Amino acid sequence: MSDPLKAKLEELDKKKKEFQPKIDEINAKREEEIQNVNKKYDHMIYDINYTAQKLEDEFYNDLIKSFVEIVRREFDIKRGSDIYEVSNEFKDYRKYIAQFDIFPKELIDRMHKVIHGDPIENIMYELENIQKSYLRS
């Protein structure tokens, strides 16, 4: 009884060994096709992400430019006035800009300090460096 079972087991092992190259070939072909599909879709995803990042960078740069513009206007108001008081536009802008998570908290804090008594010059004379530091290419 054990000899026929032993023979069948040997035949089973022999068949598995015969089938293994075909299985390996199928697995290799499958892996190649998966790589091709991944490459195709990775490229599509990259294109979409690139476009989205470009739009985000443009929006972010617009936020930074609006910051520079409001600081310059506030500085001009101060230069044109004997008695300077932070404008409502500057205060409103500071509240408004804080809603954008991508806007640098440091710049919001600097505006907050101006609203609470620091001179606008502390920001104005650093605008060029701020632009170089924060604007995205």
pLDDT in tens, 69-113: 999 999 999 888 888 899 999 999 999 999 999 999 999 999 999
Burial (Cβ within 10 Å: 0-12, 13-18, ≥19) of residue 90: middle
Q: What is the pLDDT of residue 53?
A: 95
Q: pLDDT tens digits for 7-35?
A: 888 888 888 889 899 999 999 999 999 99
pLDDT at 2 (0 to 100): 80
Per-residue pLDDT at 133 exceeds 90: yes
Query: What is the structure's pLDDT at 4?
Result: 84
Does the pTM surpass 0.75? The reply is: no
Q: Measure the CA–CA gap between 125 and 130, rounded to whole angstroms.
A: 10
Task: Say which DSSP state 1 is in.
Answer: -
pLDDT digits (tens, 9 = 90+) for 44-63: 999 999 999 999 999 999 99
pLDDT interval class at 1 (50, 70, 90)? low
